[in-house]
Structure 1
Amino acid sequence: MVRVRFAPSPTGYIHIGNTRIALFNWLFAMQNNGQFVLRYDDTDIERSRQNYVDGIAEDLQWLGIKPAEVHYQSKRFARYDAVAEELKAAGLLYPCYETPEELELRRKIRLSRKLPPVYGREALKLTVQEKQAFEAEGRKPHWRFLLPNFAENPFATKRTDVQWDDLVRGRQTIDLASMSDPVLIRADGTYLYTLPSVIDDVDMKISHIIRGDDHVTNTGVQIAIFAALKARIPIFGHINLLTTSSGEGLSKRTGALSIRSLREGGYEPMAVSSLAALIGTSENVSACPTMAELSQHFSLDAVSKSAAKFDPVDLLNLNRHLVHDMAFAAVAARLKVLGIDSVQAEPFWLAVHGNLEKVIDAAPWWHVVRDETLDFADLCADDKDFLRQAATLLPVEPWNHDTWQQWIAALKTVTERKGKALFKPFRVALTGRTSGPELADLLPLMGKALVEKRLAV
């Protein structure tokens, strides 16, 4: 069975870039009748927050992503410790006592000798007495994973290619000899991302790992760890990263394009999902009303190799298309929250939705057709005289969609006005705007008394 995972760190609210990773995994699972696993990478106890955990869950639910399972890395430390001890016993995880300053000095020395700045495995040469001396100084070791890039002598590395067929990037090759042995456990005993991630992927039977292409190099290391644990290696797919329209990277710390801010800004979840999933691919970016339809347009084969730029202008265009196609039943509950709740709610929606960019934009128009305190009389003297004359020719109620044409026909018999000179004063006096929904649709909602009041300028 296809099992994918999304592993956010709850150190901030997820942004559109994080969400794109989640969407790719969710849509891939949908296409393959698979399962989506949500795994919180909350091993950073200092920075992880429950409100961010709750916020991520809320954002995913709003988007329509429904995890089959939810896991927390903070609850699995005993498992990580057990595997770490196994690796230590096998000689694959070894202690290192260098300070950051000592490591930087060694790096500079290697560079001055025109050597690659990789760790020289000096810690493997330490005697028991030397280790005890470091411990006596108060030094605590960090632990590195011994990469399998040598035959017998770990100080005589040789080219060791790790290869995989990437779902997005095709055949990939990483030379382990070009890399330093990665630190898996810090000196304070906390884990870096790499080891817990591999252990979780093994235990949770993750079949496919779809993530950003900034992890390509990491994949070589992780495949080596999978092999060390004698575990099945998942299939990898690395997608292009998402940036802002100006090319800047996205950050949870800055809150740039967070899902929470987009939701609070009135955007539709499917507008966000459609743009995030289709931008940076060869597929046409269009507003898909459902995840099922979006999955029909989604393909990992279509992903570009270059970064994708997320432009809020594009998002607004997609949002507009979705709102224009929304039936009243789909928005009735949301309109009620906005205070739009009467027998006129449905005809009102049908009258205005074709002019909205967001559902929340309906609220001001509701005030336009209902609020008797609004005054839009910002007209010249000639227009005011014209409107007073027009008020005397208003048809009797009840009004319907034909009332506007009946009124205009009566006016044309007594005035020489036509075109913009005829219609603009009405729109400004009745709505306070120079454009918007058809007045033929708004008049029955406003009623004769309100129309007469606004024409009495």
Structure 2
Amino acid sequence: MTVTVRFAPSPTGRIHIGNARAALFNALFALRLGGRFVLRFDDTDRERSREDLKVAIADDLGWLGIRPDIMLSQSDRTDLYDQSAERLKAAGRLYACYETPDELERRRRRQLARGLPPIYDRAALKLTDAEHAAFAAEGRRPHWRFRLDGRPVGWTDLVRGEQIVDTASLSDPVLIREDGSYLYTLPSVVDDIALGISHVIRGEDHVTNTGVQIEIFEALGGPVPTFGHYNLISTVSGEALSKRLGSLSIGSLRAAGYEPMAVASLSVLIGSAEDIHAYRSLAELAGHVDLARVSMSTAKFDPHELDMLNARLVHGLAFEAVADRLAALGIPGASGIDPRAFWEAVRPNLVTVPEAAQWWRIVMEGPQAEPPSQGEAGTAPMAADRAFLAEARAMLPAEPWDETTWGTWTKTLQTATGRKGRDLFLPLRQALTGVDHGPELKKLLPLIGWRRTSARLP
């Protein structure tokens, strides 16, 4: 059997960390076992589904390193769903209902008032042919429900172990809307059968739905896949993720300059027994993701943790890996500065690659109104510091400069002024960069050069 998994987003919004986590769990599972990954757009919601969002979702997945073996849209497969629906109708498992939402809500309230579970009472099964005809004459169009067996449905879950859902406690699910369009449930099962999906890996919010879908698999005579339901994630504050939480959308994280493997690693390792580490490829990460070691408690997604993972990856990036990205930021432009030397100077102080542009402006232009994210704005020099800086300017070594220049210059200043430690180094750093912390000045000073250094000293 070829392992085949699927990621089935609705193209009604950009994907966020939670969606990406679903895609990653499936893609990594397939990668680990030599299987296939299917990207299936669940676009049965005709009003909200958008073609441009399909493109955006596929692009975001590609950024994460996920490239589907098969890609399809449910909107192109309606004939297949129609055939399955007719089979279920003929078998008496799909039946027509005419209640309006208001009628169903009133019925639900009556059940609650009587202490009964608010599930559909199957009143439509008792309709006579004459009553069906009367509803049709009124212009009412039916929605169609799947008649559940009302029994315990069990499976061995890849994450949660033995699971049982008693479908007797559930309403018969609506599979077809009044307008003839399909809700998620039936097309999902039909496609899983048609595509040979062997494993369905998704969030724990689908556990109850799995009991329903297993009954539909069996009613259609299809093989029931193996299911796995992993824990959900929330923000540190406990807020559930949604497509409207833009700061954690994959698109926004890309725009902010995060590395795809930092996002991927954190997404699947939080809430598991594995140590959180930024792996350099999906193939490497796949060897460290075991669904059996995923916790059943909600995992917290901490952006600060993402920053730390991303910084570790950035600090290990060779110049060749970022040269094109630096060029897109205007580095080195026509400056004549060696971009490799610049990268090696600023790399240890970056969280994201685009932050290099902030240090580039400091090298070229001097202190900035807004300091780099890893820097702390310096204070205006005191009168004594201004005198010291003027003396420092007078003692600037002649060019050419290299990494020994900073040490030579500061030793000369120490001898001449008696300053040492923070009193010696901090005023110079503040004057040259505008911040209290940053890249090693022995590496930064040759990039700034004599002319720019002299201009920044009084």
Output the TM-score relative to the length of structure 1. 0.94
- In structure 2, the residue matched to 1:356 is 350
AA in 2 matched with 1:369 = V
Alignment match of 1:306 (pick from 276, 285, 297):
297
Alignment match of 2:288 (pick from 289, 294, 297):
297
> Aligned-pair distance for 1:331?
0.7
Q: Aligned runs of 1:80-119 on 2, under 5 Å?
A: 80-119=81-120
Taking the aligned partners of 1:355 and 1:101, their CA distance within structure 2 comes to 60
Query: How far does the alpha carbon of each residue in 1:110-158 deviate from its partner, in whole angstroms, 9 at most, with x for none?
Result: 3333332222211111111110001111111110111123xxxxxxxxx
Secondary structure of the 1:357 match is coil
Tell me if the contact between 2:349 and 2:439 (Cα under 8 Å) persists in the aligned partners: yes
- In structure 2, the residue matched to 1:227 is 218
Q: Sort the Cα spacing of 1:272 and 1:347 in 2 relative to 1 into closer, same or farther, 3 A.
A: same
> Aligned-pair distance for 1:302?
1.3
AA in 1 matched with 2:16 = H
Tell me if the contact between 2:367 and 2:434 (Cα under 8 Å) persists in the aligned partners: no
Deviates more, 1:221-230 or 1:315-324: 315-324
Query: How far does the alpha carbon of each residue in 1:222-260 deviate from its partner, in whole angstroms, 9 at most, with x for none?
Result: 000100111111000001111111111111134351111
Query: How far does the alpha carbon of each residue in 1:399-428 deviate from its partner, in whole angstroms, 9 at most, with x for none?
Result: 111111111221222111111111111001
Taking the aligned partners of 2:365 and 2:133, their CA distance within structure 1 comes to 81
- In structure 1, the residue matched to 2:171 is 180
Deviates more, 1:174-183 or 1:31-40: 174-183
The answer to whether structure 1 residue 368 and structure 2 residue 369 are counterparts is no
Tell me if the contact between 2:367 and 2:433 (Cα under 8 Å) persists in the aligned partners: no
- In structure 2, the residue matched to 1:326 is 317
Taking the aligned partners of 1:373 and 1:119, their CA distance within structure 2 comes to 68
> Aligned-pair distance for 1:380?
2.0
Taking the aligned partners of 2:247 and 2:387, their CA distance within structure 1 comes to 52
AA in 2 matched with 1:213 = E
Secondary structure of the 1:71 match is strand
- In structure 2, the residue matched to 1:346 is 340
> Aligned-pair distance for 1:374?
7.0
Taking the aligned partners of 1:443 and 1:99, their CA distance within structure 2 comes to 75
- In structure 2, the residue matched to 1:444 is 446
The answer to whether structure 1 residue 136 and structure 2 residue 127 are counterparts is no
Q: Aligned runs of 1:33-112 on 2, under 5 Å?
A: 33-112=34-113
Secondary structure of the 1:246 match is coil
- In structure 1, the residue matched to 2:276 is 285
Tell me if the contact between 1:377 and 1:429 (Cα under 8 Å) persists in the aligned partners: no
Taking the aligned partners of 1:392 and 1:4, their CA distance within structure 2 comes to 69
- In structure 2, the residue matched to 1:379 is 381
Tell me if the contact between 1:377 and 1:454 (Cα under 8 Å) persists in the aligned partners: no
- In structure 1, the residue matched to 2:372 is none
Taking the aligned partners of 1:435 and 1:48, their CA distance within structure 2 comes to 48
Taking the aligned partners of 1:119 and 1:148, their CA distance within structure 2 comes to 14
Alignment match of 1:429 (pick from 431, 440, 443):
431
Tell me if the contact between 2:204 and 2:231 (Cα under 8 Å) persists in the aligned partners: yes
Secondary structure of the 1:447 match is helix
Secondary structure of the 1:144 match is strand
Tell me if the contact between 1:38 and 1:71 (Cα under 8 Å) persists in the aligned partners: yes
> Aligned-pair distance for 1:289?
2.0
Secondary structure of the 2:307 match is helix
Q: Sort the Cα spacing of 1:358 and 1:99 in 2 relative to 1 into closer, same or farther, 3 A.
A: same
Query: How far does the alpha carbon of each residue in 1:344-380 deviate from its partner, in whole angstroms, 9 at most, with x for none?
Result: 1001010111011111111111122223797999322
Taking the aligned partners of 1:76 and 1:178, their CA distance within structure 2 comes to 32
Taking the aligned partners of 1:253 and 1:50, their CA distance within structure 2 comes to 19
Taking the aligned partners of 2:414 and 2:204, their CA distance within structure 1 comes to 66
Q: Sort the Cα spacing of 1:413 and 1:114 in 2 relative to 1 into closer, same or farther, 3 A.
A: closer
AA in 1 matched with 2:338 = Q
Q: Aligned runs of 1:118-157 on 2, under 5 Å?
A: 118-149=119-150
- In structure 2, the residue matched to 1:407 is 409
Output the TM-score relative to the length of structure 2. 0.94
Taking the aligned partners of 1:321 and 1:221, their CA distance within structure 2 comes to 44
Taking the aligned partners of 1:419 and 1:18, their CA distance within structure 2 comes to 51
AA in 1 matched with 2:131 = E
- In structure 2, the residue matched to 1:261 is 252
- In structure 1, the residue matched to 2:10 is 9
AA in 2 matched with 1:228 = A
Secondary structure of the 2:246 match is coil
What is the Cα-based RMSD across aligned positions, in Å?
1.6
Taking the aligned partners of 2:366 and 2:222, their CA distance within structure 1 comes to 72
Taking the aligned partners of 1:410 and 1:146, their CA distance within structure 2 comes to 89
> Aligned-pair distance for 1:391?
2.0
> Aligned-pair distance for 1:278?
0.5
Q: Sort the Cα spacing of 1:373 and 1:173 in 2 relative to 1 into closer, same or farther, 3 A.
A: closer
Unaligned ranges ≥5, structure 2 = 370-377
Alignment match of 1:207 (pick from 198, 208, 212):
198
Unaligned ranges ≥5, structure 1 = 150-159
- In structure 1, the residue matched to 2:397 is 395
Tell me if the contact between 2:366 and 2:434 (Cα under 8 Å) persists in the aligned partners: no
Secondary structure of the 2:248 match is coil
Deviates more, 1:388-397 or 1:401-410: 388-397
Taking the aligned partners of 1:414 and 1:241, their CA distance within structure 2 comes to 63
What is the percent sequence identity of the aligned residues? 58
Tell me if the contact between 2:203 and 2:230 (Cα under 8 Å) persists in the aligned partners: yes
> Aligned-pair distance for 1:343?
5.2
